[in-house]
Every structure is written in C-alpha cells, then in structure tokens.
Chains A and B, each alone.
Chain A
Amino acid sequence: MMKGNEAIGEAAIRAGCRFYFGYPITPQNELLEYMARKLPEVGGCFLQSESELAGASMLYGAAAAGKRVMTSSSSPGISLMQETVSYLASAELPAVIVNISRGSPGLGRITPAQSDYNQATKGGGHGDYNILVFAPASVQEMMDLTMLAYELSDQYRIPAMILGDGIVGQMMESVVLPEPVETIPEKSWAACGCQGRERNLVISAPFTDEDLIDLNRRLQEKYRVIIEREQRAEMIHTEDAEFIFVAFGIVSRLAHSVVDSLREKGCKVGMIRPQTLWPFPDDAFNRIPRAKGVLVVEMNEGQMLIDVRLALNGRVPVRHYGRGGGWVPSPDSIEAEMLKLMEEVEKNAVSL
C-alpha cells in the first residue's frame, strides 16, 4: 500500500531521478518529504528552495547538467514556476514537474480540483510551446505515468507534468513497484564541462532573429511528432457505446462506476479516459462509431470540454458537468446528468 504522492516519489527514484528541488505547499508535502527522506539514501540531492521561482530554476540548472530531476507543488506554486517551464521548453530540457492541484484562482483551498487543466495543456507560461501532461487516476498510475514521463521527457527533450489532485495525491492503494531503470540515456548536449569535446550551450534565446524563428519551427515540428505518437487514453466499452463520458484523473473513477451501473441497467454507455492531456487523445474520438452524445465530467468549469469539442468537431452533441473551487460530484449526480443527456438526445432536443 502506498500513498499517491509518495508513489510519485518512489517512481521518480526508480526512474533514476536523483535531484529534487521544491518549496512546501499542501496537498503535496508527502512527495517533498518522501524525497527528503529517500534521496540521501540513494546518493541523491534534496534541496528545499526559498521559493518556487528559485526551486524551478535549480531544477533547470540540474537538468542542464544532464540529470533526471523533479520538482512538485500545487497550483499557486505552479504558477510561479511557469517562468522556468517556458525556459525549459525553449532550452529543450527534460524535467518532471508535479502539480497536485487545488481549486479556484488565487490562493484557493486544498480541496481537490482540476482547474489547472488549461494552464497545464496550453503551455502555462509565455511563448508558443507545450509540455507533456499526464493525468493519473490511481496510485499505480502515479507510478507508471511518472516512469513514462521521465522516458518521454528525455526522448523528446521536453518538460513533462504529472497533473493530479488532492484525492489521488492522498489516497492509499496497493501498487506493483516498477523495475528500476538501469541506464539513463546519454545526454551529449549537457553542460557539464567541455573536457574532450566542443563546448555545449544550453541557452534559451539564440543570437539572431532567424535562429529564433528556426528554434520555434523546430519546437513545433517536435510537438507534431509527439501529437502523432504519444496520445494515450483508456477506452471503456467505447466500441458499442452510444453515450460516452470523458473524464480524467480522480473524477474518471467516479464516472467509471457510473458506466458500470448504467451498463447493468442495459444502457450502452462507455468512457474515454485521457491519460495524456497534452497531447490530447484526439484519435480516441475517431474510435467511437456509435456515439450519440458525450458528457464531459470535470472538477472545473469546463476546460477539457473545449478540447473534446475540437476533437469531435460538431459530430456529436457534447455536454459538460462540472464545477471549480473544490467540488466533487457524487456518482448519483453523474448518473442523473447522463440520463438527462440521453433523454434529450432521444427527443432530439440537445444543442451542440
């Protein structure tokens, strides 16, 4: 049995992460404290920074040296880190950032929410860029997606985020521990002293205007490849489903239980559960041939909703059920929303 937040830390260490920098904030302190306890045991470095601004820049430095690194925070702290996330994107540095998010703009409260979807998936900081965003729905997935985040982050030289909430972070579940990574890929670009080679530059902005345009082109080309290859979603009864939930993270667990209970009642329902939020699993929406209606359930005011609409491009009516600010829907209320959508679609009374 393991707590979600600690599972991320354990997976990071198994993935070869030896450098953690961060600043305390609830509800993710278990991760920070896990790294504080465990990293010294494996010869790693834990450093509590004076702020998220500084912690993220420390992460940037250690990433530039070619190491596997992690920082974590919750929404207000993640906002402060966006400066570095943008720099990581432009300098093409791999790094894993964990957001165990809160609800509401401003300080918010520690109640669980999914209100940082837009910030995470649309770049978050300034400039034309994206980062990989993973949405675990169980403690096991906290581990598995953290392992994957390190692998893909290195492979594409792109920052990656694990986007969770207070419930997945705090809940205890049994897990199968992933095998530790034996060899981390060689990073010939790292800035670590130029002995025996040409010097390496890890820079955010090239010297000329043309080079900067080229950099942006190259980033977009990389993003295109990632969109093509790295979309991930769990498809639940989607082959024959006429009504489909779309939900990620903790709320997908609730929606899943509703899928099961409605199936028992003979309703043809299913679910698309995005595991990557960027790249958004657009392709999954081409594999729901019988769909007549889609219900997006989110613990926010309708953020993933927009990506779902874009993926469906008007083919299927889409409804949203969600609130921000730390609201968790009950399975009964999710079921009632779905029944309402089914009824409206059957009556032909639904608007897109």
Chain B
Amino acid sequence: MQLVFNKPESLTVNPFTYCPGCSHGIAHRLVGEVIDEMQLREKIVGVSTIGCSVRCWRNFDFDIVQGAHGRGMAVATGLKRALPDQVIFTYQGDGDLAAIGMGETIHAAVRGEAITVVFINNAVFGATGGQLAPTTLPGQWTSTYPKGRDVSWTGSPINMSEILAGLPATTYIAREALTTPKNVLRAKKYMRKAFEAQTLHGGFGLVELLGSCPVNLKLKPVEALNWVEKNMIPQYPLGEFKDTGKEAAS
C-alpha cells in the first residue's frame, strides 16, 4: 500500500485543540509542510504568542519559545540576534500582532529583522471570547460592541500587510485567505516565500492569513468561511504586496 498523505514531520501526534472549523488547524498544517519541504525542522526556533494558538508548541515538533502577549517579534529579535544562522519565526493572531503588540511589530519591520511572521487575521479576539480586535470589520458583532463596530467610536479596521509593505526594510509581505483549497495552496506558496525572505535574502517576511473563528462569529464552519470570503476579502485584498527578493533577482 502506498502512503499518499501523512502528517508532516514538523507536527507532533498531539491532536489540535481548536474549535471545529477554526483556521488555526489549517495554518498549523501549512507551517508544518513548509518547514518540512524547506528542511528547516532542525534549525528552526518558533515563537508562540498569546491567543488561541498559545500552545501551538503542542502541535509543532521543533524548538519553541513562548513569548508574552504581543511581544512575539521582540522575542524573535532576541533569538535571531543570538542565533543568526538559525531560522526564527513567530505565529501571531491579530490581537497579539496588531493591538497589544503593534509597537513590537512595527519596529521589528522598521529594523527589517531577518524573521518570518505567520499572521492569523480572524477579525476578533478568539481566546478571550470574541471581543473587538483592531481588524474587526465595520458593523461586525463583538462581545464588547454587541451593536457592531461603530467606526466613529472605535476607528476603522487596520490593514497590517499594506502598512508593513510600506516600510522600507521589509522584504516580503503577502495576504491570502484560508477559505478554499485553491486559496490554501496559494497561502502555502506565500508562506514559503515569507520563509525564503529570511533564508535567501536575510530579510523580514510576513504572510497574513485571513481565517475564521466560527465560534465567535456564531456561524457554522462553512458559513464562517463564506463570511470571510464575502466580508473580509473586500476589506483585506489578497495578493503579494511586496517581494523585494524577486525585484532583486530580476
């Protein structure tokens, strides 16, 4: 019998503990596959941050350092400066990266730290029960704004990829949605390029993955993915925003 589908070596046998239909599981699987394919498992150090993925070290089978809420890229900076020959990445939610960790995020990008960032944008604080995130859409229900996000009171959603692409020291920035098989395959391609920004070009690479949090959207898993397609993509257009590696090569 031929084995055609197996778990990546970079993932443990521990089951995912996410809710049904949660996009973190797909994102983890992509991280595992990309690290396997790039043969990085033995030279990678991951930074787990605070959010639903706080215990991603249960699922990733390589060295992990757990950072404080929002400080992922500062921890990754310390690691990369200490281990310039190793590959360092962070796995962060939108609350972690764009709310409490905005300072660390912007400054790591300003410095062009040679790290890779896997950024899960699910438009909500998942772990704490569905409160407003900086990425929450106008009108979207959250537990802290049950009448929907009123932009005159809480401001408008923030497009991190566009902002980070505008900073001179970043190398690769792209956004994809974990909604359809086609998109997931493209997300994997972008993720690989975000790692290559570090391994080939010594630069800052980030892939933003639009994902669903069905529990806090109060939708069934499939409906939640449709919601992402219909509502998030118009606010957060997909594609590669910056690829200086490619520009340098051509």
Contact = CB atoms under 8 A, between A and B. Distances in A.
Contacts of B66: 91, 201-205
B229 interface: no
Give the secondary structure class of A's interface. mixed
A193 B42 contact: yes
A47 B77 contact: yes
Contact of A201 (B64, B79, B81): B64
Sorting the interface of chain A by its residue count into under 10, 10 to 19, 20 to 34 or 35 or more gives: 35 or more
Contacts of A45: 81-82
Contacts of B63: 191-194, 199-202
B64 A50 contact: no
A60 B42 contact: no
B65 A191 contact: yes
A19 B45 CA distance: 18
A60 B75 contact: yes
A59 interface: yes
Contact of A65 (B67, B83, B107): B83
B32 to A, nearest CB: 13
Contacts of A55: 74
B64 A191 contact: yes
Given A51-B103, A192-B63, A195-B43, A61 B74 contact: yes
Contact of A83 (B68, B83, B86): B68
Contacts of A191: 45, 63-65, 79
B57 A58 contact: no
Nearest to B57: A201
Interface in A161-211: 191-196, 199-205, 207
Interface in B104-154: 104, 107
B77 A58 contact: yes
B76 A193 contact: no
Contacts of B79: 61-62, 64-65, 191
B43 A57 contact: no
A53 interface: yes
Nearest to B69: A83
Contact of A195 (B42, B55, B57, B82): B42
A232 interface: no
Contacts of B77: 47, 54, 57-58, 61
A194 B42 contact: yes
Interface string B86-114: 10000000000000000110010000000
A45 B79 CA distance: 12
Of A51, A199, A205, the most chain B CB neighbours within 10 A belong to: A199
B67 A194 contact: no
A84 B65 CA distance: 13
Contacts of B78: 19, 21, 57-65, 69
A193 B86 contact: yes
Nearest to B40: A193
A194 B41 contact: yes
A91 B104 CA distance: 21
A58 B103 contact: no
A61 B42 contact: no
Interface string B34-45: 000000011111
Interface string A35-46: 000000000010
B193 interface: no
Given A54-B103, A199-B61, A202-B66, A193 B82 contact: no
B62 interface: yes
Interface string A1-32: 00000000000000000010100000000000
A164 to B, nearest CB: 24
A157 interface: no
B186 interface: no
A54 B41 CA distance: 27
A50 B58 contact: no
B67 A60 contact: yes
Contacts of B64: 191, 199, 201-203
Contact of A61 (B55, B57, B82, B103): B82
B67 A61 contact: yes
A71 to B, nearest CB: 10
B81 A58 contact: yes
Interface in B19-49: 41-45, 47-48
Given A62-B82, A65-B82, A203 B43 contact: no
B188 interface: no
A49 interface: yes
B242 interface: no
Contacts of B86: 192-193
B75 A65 contact: no
A201 B62 CA distance: 8
A326 to B, nearest CB: 30
Interface of B: 41-45, 47-48, 54-55, 57-58, 61-68, 71, 74-83, 86, 103-104, 107
Given A194-B41, A201-B64, 5 more contacts: A47-B77, A60-B65, A192-B63, A192-B86, A203-B66
Q: Lowest 7 CB-CB distances: which A-B pairs, in order?
A: A61-B78, A57-B74, A57-B71, A58-B78, A65-B82, A195-B42, A62-B78
